[in-house]
């Protein structure tokens, strides 16, 4: 299974996830959405699989700095536009493993899914 881990290299959760994968010997490719970009079609696939509400990182600094009216008027289209414009607003990491797309890191969940 070819795994791609999407995130931002300086994100603590992404660092933990990458360290866990390395320690477990799980092969993956890292894609930095800030440096390497993110296309609208891929984001739409994530939204279709997970929902924009699950992908949008409302706890992050980038989102918290938004004007209140922008936060209140969110819908799928505006959330996707924000995530494409500022990938730091995407909850991390997003993992594509085969046909499965997931977001976030939990060592226990990943142990069940990825460890040999």
Q: Which of the residues are catalytic?
A: 11
Residue 75 contacts residue 81 (beta carbons within 8 Å): no
Nearest 5°: phi and psi at 59?
-85, -15
Nearest 5°: phi and psi at 90?
-90, 130
Q: How many helices, marked H, and strands, marked E, lie in the chain? A: 7, 4
Residue 20 contacts residue 105 (beta carbons within 8 Å): yes
């Amino acid at each position: 299974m070819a795994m791609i881990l999407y995130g931002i290299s300086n994100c603590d959760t992404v660092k933990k996830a990458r360290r866990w994968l390395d320690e477990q010997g799980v092969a993956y490719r890292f894609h930095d959405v800030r440096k390497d970009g993110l296309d609208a079609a891929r984001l739409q696939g994530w939204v279709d699989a997970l929902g924009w509400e699950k992908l949008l990182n409302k706890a992050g600094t980038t989102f918290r700095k938004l004007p209140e009216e922008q936060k209140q008027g969110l819908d799928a289209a505006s959330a996707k536009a924000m995530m494409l414009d500022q990938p730091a607003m995407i909850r991390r990491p997003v993992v594509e493993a085969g046909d499965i797309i997931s977001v976030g890191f939990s060592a226990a969940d990943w142990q069940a899914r990825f460890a040999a």
